[in-house]
Structures are given as C-alpha cells and as structure tokens.
Amino acid sequence: MKIKILGCSGGMGANQHTTCIRIDEHTLIDAGTGLGSLTQSELAQIKRIFLTHAHLDHICFLPLLIDNLFDKLKDPIEVYALPEVIDTLKQHMFNWSIWPDFTALPDKQNPVLRFITVTPWQSIHTETLTLTPFPSDHVVPTCGYRVEKKDCPIFVFTSDTTLSPEVISNLNRLGTINTLMVECAMPDNMETLAKLSKHLTPGMLQTLLADMDQKPEHIWISHLKPSYTRQIIDELQHRLQGQDLVVLSCGQQFELS
C-alpha cells in the first residue's frame, strides 16, 4: 500500500498544506490544500475520496477538483462521508452560490459527482482496499478510517479528534493497528483550547496511547499548528520517548508492505 501525505498541516504557509492523503493511485482521504500538489495526470487518476468531516481544512479543494476534472471524467468522482457531512456539503458548498451542484451536472442521470453515505463500522471495498469508518470525537460529526489491503500492514487515520473514553474504546475495537496516523494540533499549554475545539495536545495523546489495549507499531503525527510546530515536536519527543514516532511533513511517501 502506497501512502502519500499530500497535506498534514494544521494551517497554511510555504510547504504547509492541509489534510489530504493519497492511498495508491485512485483513493484519497480528505481533500485539503495538499490535493493541489498533484499533477494533472495524477489528479485524473483519482476515483474516490473518503471524507472525515466537513471542516474547511479537510474539504476546501474538493470543489476545485471536480471542476478541474469535469470534462475528463468517464465515471463520477465518488465522495464517501457521514450523512451529516454530505448534508453540510450540499447545503453550504455545492449549492449554486458557493459552487455549482455537481451532482446535477452535466445532468442528473450522469453527474460528475456522486455522494455515498458511510456508516461507522460498515466496511467499503474498492478494487484493492477495504476502508472501515469509525467515530472520532471532534466538534462536528467526524470519522476516522481503517485502511486494509491484502498482505499489507493495517493503517488507521483518526482525523481530527480529542481524547475521550469513546475514542479509546473505538481504537481498541479496531484491533491490531500497525500504523496509527493521529493529530496533535496544539502544545500542552493550550490544553484548555484543545479540549474546547476537540483536538489533542502531546499530553492528551500520551494518555490516549497509554490507554490503548494494543499499541500501534508506528505513530504518525499530523495537523500541528504551524506557529507551535517546534514546541509540539519537543513535547512529543519528551512524552513519547521510545516509541516509533514520525512527525509528518507534506509530500512524504511511504510504502506499507
């Protein structure tokens, strides 16, 4: 399984792009500004996008992608998401005011965009991948995804989440996790804000990992606020000593096999 981290930043700036992960050639998780780093031919390979939630940093390049591919698509781009996320996108984005309703273009029978509702714990099978959504705990309805491929290690992405008993229980329910990609948006001294905005600090992440029944082999960290990156990394290195930790950067590629 090839994973390219197109975007993993909690903000913007030079070389800082927001959440977008490409799994092999045809599948994306989220459509943040990282999506803009693909070439035209790579963009044309995208068949489906699994959204975690409707926050702007995770969806902002979705409308541009559909527009970009409009006259090249033989089949609609499939967008998988929780029902609440689909409702939000229909109401606030593909509403003819912010952007055209591409579920009705070029016509309703053969649209270029198709929304597909996901239900937590019900797996979706693509040609080679199996994705299983599970609830995270964020300020809006949010799910993470477990990604499986035959003979490959298991990859889990929590998306934006805070620390709660439900999140720990959901991660435990997933069973073996080889690589856990999890956010750590804010430094320890911003824990009050992290709790209000339902994100994680290094201290909260340390507790989350300690409470998991089976420890992930590898931990990938994303969504750091650019102004606090150095501080968060220092705190993570201190708190998660001895664990296999990667603080992700945009453009990084991995082959999980």
Q: In this structure, which amino acid lies at residue 211?
A: D
User: Can residue 55 be called a binding residue for Zn ion (CB under 5 A)?
Assistant: yes
Q: Which residue stretch of 56-64, 65-73, 112-120, 204-212 sits at the interface with Zn ion (rule: CB under 5 A)?
A: 56-64
User: Can residue 57 be called a binding residue for Zn ion (CB under 5 A)?
Assistant: yes
Which has the closest alpha carbon to 80: 43, 30, 33, 38?
30
Site for Zn ion in 135-164 (CB under 5 A): 160
37 alpha carbon, distance to own chain's centre: 16
Q: Which residue stretch of 1-9, 33-41, 53-61, 84-92 sits at the interface with Zn ion (rule: CB under 5 A)?
A: 53-61
What's the closest the beta carbon of residue 31 comes to Zn ion, in angstroms? 12
Query: For Zn ion, which is the closer residue by CB, 57 or 148?
Result: 57
Tokens of 249: 């950067």
Q: 211 to each of 115, 204, 216, 248, how far by Cα in Å? A: 35, 11, 12, 23
CA atoms of 72 and 54, how far apart (whole Å)? 26
First-to-last C-alpha distance (Å) of the chain: 6
Q: Which residue stretch of 47-55, 73-81, 99-107, 229-237 sits at the interface with Zn ion (rule: CB under 5 A)?
A: 47-55
What's the closest the beta carbon of residue 143 comes to Zn ion, in angstroms? 12
Query: For Zn ion, which is the closer residue by CB, 178 or 192?
Result: 192
Tokens of 48: 């489906």
Residue ranges that bind Zn ion, judged by CB under 5 A: 55, 57, 160
